[in-house]
Amino acid sequence: MGVKVREREGMYRYLIVGLLTLLFSISMAVTAYSGQYEDAMAAYKRGDYATAYRLFKPMAEQGHAEAQYNLGGMYAEGRGVPQDYGEATKWFRKAAEQGNAMAQYNLGGMYFRGRGVPRDFVLAHMWFNLSVSRVPASEGEKREATEIIIALVASKMTSFQIAEAQRLAREWKPKEEER
């Protein structure tokens, strides 16, 4: 009986050590990404778009939604890269699918204007709806502005299209980035 108890205690020790090692590794990775993201944002803010791109790119490829959103913005505006709405849409979509509200807003805009994707009011309405649902109440002006845009999009749609967009927004679920 005593041997089984000691074996179990030993197994628990290995399990605890393993979990602590895993948690430490994760925290180190998060800290590294955090510093890299801050460095990329600082480079972007000072107009060093080449450095910002170089730092954002690997994070975006690893599924970092904010880095994907920022790369999308760089492509949409032609900052540090040639303006390319198709590429901008790819990054906005990856971040939007993870639930990034600003990427959802920008993706809605791409569908509304037909930039990088075919013009599609149903998808524009859906992405704008998802975006506004994630904007905190404390950002009332941003919410109001998005609701005005949703009304503008809706004015160009049939009632069936609006219902379809609302259904898509209700059924939408964020997904983890595939790596």
Class in CATH terms, 49-171: mainly alpha
Query: What stretch of H or E contains 33?
Result: helix 2-45
What mean pLDDT do residues 132-152 have? 92
**Are the beta carbons of 46 and 79 closer than 8 angstroms?**
no
> CA–CA separation, 164 vs 171, rounded Å?
11
**What's the pLDDT score for residue 28?**
42
Among 156, 168, 87, smallest CA distance to 129 is for 168
Among 47, 100, 34, smallest CA distance to 72 is for 100
**Are the beta carbons of 76 and 83 closer than 8 angstroms?**
yes
pTM strictly above 0.85? no
**What's the pLDDT score for residue 20?**
39
**Are the beta carbons of 98 and 177 closer than 8 angstroms?**
yes
